[in-house]
Structure 1
Amino acid sequence: LTKEKPLRSLQDHVIEKPLGTGPFTLFEHKKGAYIHMQKNSYFFGKGQKIGNHLLGPYVDSLLFRIYGTSDVAILALKKGDIDYYWGDIQPGYIKDLKEQVNIDLYFNKKSALYYLGFNLRRAPFNDKVLRQAVATVIDKEFILTRILQNFGTPMHSVVPSGNHFWYNPKVRKYGQGLDHDQRIKLAHEMLKEAGYSWDTPPVTEGGNVVTPSDILLPSGEKMEKFVILTPPADYDPKRAFAGTMVQEWVRELGLPASARPMAFSSLLDTVKGKHEFDAFILGYGKLNLDPDYLRSFFYSKNDKPRGWNMSGYHNPEFDKIARAQMSLIDTGKRKELIWKMQEMILEDIPYLPLYNPHIIEATFNERFTGWVAKVDGIGNVWSMCVVKPAQ
């Protein structure tokens, strides 16, 4: 605390021997290779029945091995070198794993949000109508069937639909129920009414959808090329593919878009740290069930370097409601405000929710049993407490 920047010094301090109070504590860690944890003999829950589970742990240690690629990790699982693949298995592996008698697959919902974010601080996405038109042409059914291969759900609000109490089903749902040509025609009308134009518009006077020329801004100037940043395919193929498809869909309106994969750490720094972007596809893989994260993501004061308001959304009315819901004890009244916040976000679209994937996991079933399925998968503290050696 005597240093010039005590908080930064504390944050940067390397913890070599972390303490833990859970069922396991750290024994050894080799960066990029493995984490070895041993049973905590002082674990408070041992022998207690909590949540209908008689807690252990029933194994002496856990070894988390780190693999460079999914292919290598899946092969290790099939060979029995590991007992559990802790991560989201891509749908392409499922058919093969289903044929393995010693592999059990688990499909669980996630409390997650994967979305298209816009930079509201600069052109072209400082125009709400443009953001709404982009939202209209995105085919979420394609994302569900082709990208997620039906292992997930389309998202229409920034609160997952599985969060039944807080989810607002009445938010504006862009393009829902429309086919491809209907989405193009509706988006074209929205943009035309807002002053955008084309030398060759995407919809002819006869109502046919055609390949358009580059879109012209209300000022008459050509729209500058913009970039949709995504994680690379080897990090998350779903988000990378979604970015490519968004690029193609908006080009059908004459928008000069390009999807660009970027190393994940650089992507976060560009979007969250520097705010030097046009649009991006990211996700929150594990949202809290309490929706106060809406305030964090879209509160005006959080629009700062490394702040949570990455899109630069400013709405005094939203800020007022966001502050008010924090102090409400009456859940019914708070629900009304949370629903209103969702409606405002889906009208203004700093983020466009895209999808919520299921989490797909697998275990080697010959040595251990008792995995506990929950929202966000079987890799939870309950599993760590009750998994036992197979009889």
Structure 2
Amino acid sequence: MKRAFLLLLILIGCELWTMDYGPWTKNGLWTMDHGLWTNPAFAQSKVYLRVGSQDEPKTLNPFKASDVWSWNVMGWFYESLYIREPISKKVIPWVAEGYPQFSGKAAIVKMKREITWDDGTPLTAWDVKFTADLIMDFKIPRYISDWEFIEKVEVVDDYTLKFTLKVGCTPLFQVGTLMSIIVQKKAWEKLVQQAKESKAPLRTLLDYQVKRPVSAGPFSFSEWVKGSYLKIVARKDYWAKGKEVAGRKTGPFYDGILYKLYGTTDTAILALRKGEIDFIYWPIEPGFVAELSKEEKITVTTSPDNGFFYLAFNLRKRPYNDLSFRKAFAYMVDKEFIVQRILQGYGEPAYTIVPPGNKFWYNPDIPKLGGGLPKDERIKKAKEVLKKAGYIWDRKGSLLLPSGKPLRSFNILTPPADYDPIRAMSGVLIAEWLKEIGIPALAKPTSFGTITQKVFTQQDFDLFILGWQLGIDPDYVRVFFHSRQAVPDGQNPMNYRNKAYDKLSDSSSEECDEEKRRKIIFKCQEIIMNDLPYIPLFFRDRVEAYNNQTFSGWFKDLGGISGSIIYLQPKIKPKPSIQHPASRLQLSLIWIFIILGIAGGYYVLRKRRKKIKDKK
């Protein structure tokens, strides 16, 4: 009996020696340094930038993705021949070795030789040519506008390319074509061939689900637990690490980025205050600024945003295809009220499609339709426009179409309030204002993913409210409204078609005199604000918050502070877990003593009961 009991204890000890102690240990070893627990950024002796994300990527397919959540992650995987410096926005060589050498319509671009993909294979001119041919052959909506004026791309040698242009000069060659992403030929070649052989080549390519992207950038894909978090890890062999860009050393100087999913701003703010994340990767609402500013460990920044928020119409449907209806609609949108009451002054009303922060291309002289008018005057102006176009009202004040038929109720798709209360509330207010002139509109909160699917892919909607994050070059003025982009997954889901506008905006892509091009862009803004396929709503100041105790090197730029991420330095170096060789033995002995105590107590209790029984 005693031998059996001893054997049992030995077996228990062996089991305890090999078991994982779950939340009390790291990698099966007792963690003596409790700081690793209180600061998860340094867990397991690794330093992660912990980012609060409002949503997760909609896809990891770079040819399909159009949402910011996808590109917040994928942007770290794909390099380009040229990039823009932070702050100055000067275009500089990146994968390219020096600037293009022009000869007539041909340009020679040489590439750096030390760049590799994270599978160890070199990034070469063949990858660039493959990407270029793919974009041009499939006419991929997201990228084709940067390649429309390229005749062909040839490989001179493994690290030299020859671009032949269709036109003698285009400003978009260096700030568009040469700044496009580069994908790996090896990873995509087979899929591209299968897509070409399918009945719907472009749809097959765009619908492809990328499980594990191949990276040439500073981070590699690690894992994605949908609905919870996504992790990318720093590449130790990243070619640009230590390279100085605009006076800052390029990283990464930490082990990776952990994107933690928080569906609402409230939960992300709480996580930031508790020290669970280092940065909230989306603008915070103005209502949080006062309380966060009181936190010593949190810094709140305000930067000019390089983007705008807008309401758009489906011009395939009536009456949204009627300019008079859209103009009356625009009169009823009180942008000043939205900025003052909902944004609390952190922004300004938008009367054009170029942000004022992009000063050279911003047209300040666009007429402000309805700007500054009181409510009664707005209603008066809107009704005058409708009456002139043949609209009438019934006895109940409901608007009737020129045909005499009632206007059916329609939906304005907006993100839900827990995702973006500003856009959600804007939709509610606009619907209420429209009722003042008998227009039956309803704001319909809808998930971001569903909106993008219905709007850009299915093109089945009435109206929607979304926003754009923009590049520095204003070519989006052409792309967003060009008839060639009025295709599924294109960037003109409104189906705006204006041949004169197409011709004018195309001329901007071929004008290399900056002042002349500026005049074209100004005229494009005037046309769009007259035709109103969009009603720009507001330019929002980018209010952001980060933990100032964990990383240094944050800086403000046009569009926010996220440009700092690749340059950040950890403030506190991780302390390695103290992993004593005896740690498992100590834990096992503790458990053995506990079991011995229980067994001993049971033995004593049993003996006493036996003595009592014997006495009886």
State the TM-score, normalizing by the size of structure 2. 0.58
Q: What amino acid maps onto 2:346 in structure 1?
A: F
**Mapping for residues 52-201 of structure 1, pairs under 5 Å:** 52-199=247-394
**Using a 3 Å threshold, how does the CA distance of structure 1 residues 224 and 81 change in structure 2: closer, same or farther?**
closer
Of 559, 562, 584, the match for 1:379? 562
C-alpha distance in structure 2 between counterparts of 1:15 and 1:272, whole Å:
20
User: d(CA) in 2 for partners of 1:30 and 1:62?
Assistant: 14
Kept after mapping to 1: 8 A contact 2:263/2:419? no
Matched letter for residue 534 of structure 2: Y
The one-letter code matched in structure 1 to 2:419 is Y
Residue in 2 that maps onto 1:41 = 236
Question: Could you tell me which residue of structure 2 aligns to residue 305 of structure 1?
Answer: 488
Q: Name the aligned partner's letter for residue 256 of structure 1.
A: P
Cα gap change, 1:50 to 1:325, in 2 (>3 Å) = same
Q: Write the distance in 2 (CA, Å) between the matches of 1:192 and 1:12.
A: 46
Alignment match of 1:268 (pick from 441, 452, 474): 452
Cα deviation for residue 115 of structure 1 reads: 0.6
Residues 13/115 of structure 1: CA separation in 2 closer, same or farther (3 Å cut): closer
Correspondent of 1:237 among 400, 406, 421? 421
Match of 2:177 in 1: none
Q: Is the 8 A contact 2:265 2:419 kept in 1?
A: no
Closer/same/farther in 2, CA of residues 157 and 68 from structure 1, 3 Å limit: closer
Whole-angstrom distance in 2 between the partners of 1:191 and 1:10? 45
How many residues in Structure 1 have an aligned counterpart in Structure 2? 378
Q: Does 1:363 align with 2:546?
A: yes
What SS is found at the alignment partner of 1:153?
strand
* Residue of structure 1 in register with 2:57 after alignment: none
Relative to 1, partners in 2 of residues 1:235 and 1:69: Cα closer, same or farther, differing over 3 Å?
closer
| 1:362 maps to amino acid | A
Corresponding position of 2:600:
none
Q: 1:15 to 1:195 in 2, by over 3 A?
A: closer
Q: Match of 1:290?
A: 473
Match of residue 25, structure 1, among 198, 201, 220: 220
3-state SS in 2 of match to 1:353: strand
Decide which structure has greater helix share.
Answer: 2
Query: What TM-score do you get using the length of structure 1 for normalisation?
Result: 0.89
Structure having the higher Rg: 2
Q: Percent identity?
A: 42
Amino acid at match of 2:485: N
3-state SS in 2 of match to 1:298: coil
Matching residue within 372, 388, 391 for 2:570: 388
With over 3 angstroms needed to count, the CA separation of the structure-2 counterparts of 1:196 and 1:70, relative to structure 1, is: same
Deviation of 1:120 after TM superposition, in Å, equals 1.6
SS in 1 for 2:262: coil
| 1:89-140, Cα deviation, whole Å (9 max, x unpaired) | 2223222212211111111221112111112222111110111111112111
Shift in alpha-carbon separation, 1:379–1:298, aligned structure 2, 3 A: same
Read off the aligned partner of 1:383 and give its amino acid letter. Answer: I
Match for residue 219 of structure 1 among 391, 396, 403: 403
Partner residue in 2 for 1:332: 515
Residues 105 and 78 (structure 1 numbering): CA distance in 2 closer, same or farther, change over 3 Å? same
> Contact 2:262/2:268 (CA < 8 Å) preserved in 1?
yes
Paired with 2:526 and 2:214, the residues of 1 have a C-alpha distance of 43
Give 1:351 shift: 0.4
RMSD across aligned C-alpha pairs, in angstroms? 2.2
Partner of 2:152: none
Q: Does 1:258 align with 2:442?
A: yes
Change (3 A) 1:24 1:173: same
**Higher RCO structure, 1 or 2 (CA under 8 Å, sep 6+):** 1
Contact 1:88 1:360 in 2 (8 A): yes
Distance 1:117 1:9 in 2: 28
Structure 1 gap segments, 5+ residues each:
201-211
Q: 2:506 aligns with which of 277, 298, 323?
A: 323
Q: How far apart, CA to CA, are the structure 1 residues paired with 2:211 and 2:423?
A: 35
Instruction: Check conservation: 1:54, 1:386, Cα contact below 8 A.
Output: no
Shift, 1:17, TM fit:
4.2
1:9 Cα deviation after fit? 5.2
